[in-house]
Amino acid sequence: MKIVVQVRLLPDAGQAAALASALRAVNDAANLVSAVAFDRRVFREYALRKLVYGDLKARGLGAQAAQLVIKKTCHAYQTLQANIRAGNLGSPGSKRRVKAESEPVTFRPDGAQPYDDRCLSWQLETRTVSIWTTSGRLRGVRFACSADALTTLARHRHGESDLVHRDGRWFLLATCEVPQARPYEPDGFLGIDLGIVNIATTSDGQVMAGRPVNRYRRRQLRLRRKLQAKGTRSARRLLKKRARTEARFARDINYCIAKKIVTEAERTCRGIALEDLTGIRDRARLRKPQRVALSSWAFVQLGSFIAYKARRAGVPTVWVDPAGTSRTCADCGHADKRNRVSQARFTCRGCGVVAHADRNASRNVAARGQVAWDAGRESRAPAPARHGHGAGRGSQHHRQ
């Protein structure tokens, strides 16, 4: 499976200036290629190369750098078309979709640039890299990373690396192909109920990072409103900075939660059952304060973290329909809207059991996960023999 290892570059002043100049040059070139592709309606890499390769060389780009700029532009249009097909830019005729389809893709002057092994080489023993720029090859550019990241780079680095300039700092994001553990047969499932008040609640009763995160988000919301009311240039700059800070905070919380969940499931030889919350922002009808909380809820990120960590550890993962999990009693199965007395309290109208609402929902998720796994479990019986060549294998259902 693919993972991305981030290392921080530590260039001196001259090296940083060369890297910044190279990023501006390749992104200017990418804008040129994008305009040609849009005007000619040519989005395939080989055909586009015939139209723009000479112009890119004339701009001072090396042969491989020119190829990477063309490839980067084609991938940007492929991503745009995928988002349009998936409906992420709205329905046909919507303002956002019309704008996306009526103008070429543009690249920021400091947008990330991919590098392959012809433009970038790693010296892991000395923790330095040699990297192409428009000013020539920079050698001995130092980088810093953890010991685990260095080991992963040495053993599993494979493919391109992206040069990123963010908040005045330089990074390389290296693609690594790490081995994936073989999934085991789970002894039950650990159900995960995702929420806003409590980010994650397990069927074992563990409640994770609810109140501290929401307190932090409310404080950030108050600060954003004050800055938005000012409307000055410095206020807008500070808004962007705070947005990135809040995103990093949420990412760190989600990462820690995902690690705890996967570690517990692996320790107890269980699988993980998660709610499929695709499209919940479109389905949910909430009051304005609740809409703000829902919009800042990074449940997709948390789910993706759990899924990739589970794949790497070999923990089976299933996604279940969340409908009714908060209204159904995990003990007797009685479903009633009135069972959910409050956000935290669940009282069954059928059997009278009283429970924490999120834990009750997570137990329902765990039960649905077991049902989903049983329905798609690999066949252990051999298939009938065919034409005297012996028995074959039963059909297999692949899960994440």
Strands 200-202 and 189-194: antiparallel
DSSP string, 300-321: HHHHHHHHHHHHHHT--EEEE-
Res 285: pLDDT: 55
Res 382: pLDDT: 43
pLDDT under 50: residue ranges of the chain: 378-400
Q: Is residue 37 classed as helix, strand or coil in its secondary structure?
A: helix
Task: Please determine, looking at this structure, whether the domain spanning 189-215+245-375 carries the CATH number 1.20.120.
Answer: no
pTM: 0.75
Res 293: pLDDT: 55
CA distance 356 to 208: 14
Res 381: pLDDT: 42
CATH 3.30.420 occupies which residues in the chain?
A: 189-215+245-375
Residue 73 contacts residue 34 (beta carbons within 8 Å)? yes
Res 365: pLDDT: 94
Res 290: pLDDT: 56
Which tokens sit at 375? Answer: 């329905």
Where does residue 41 rank: exposed (0-12), middle (13-18), buried (19+ CB within 10 A)?
exposed
Q: For the segment 107-165, what is each residue's pLDDT rounded down to a tens digit?
A: 999 999 999 999 999 999 999 999 999 999 999 999 999 999 999 999 999 989 999 99
Which tokens sit at 59? Answer: 């701009």
CA distance 52 to 55: 5
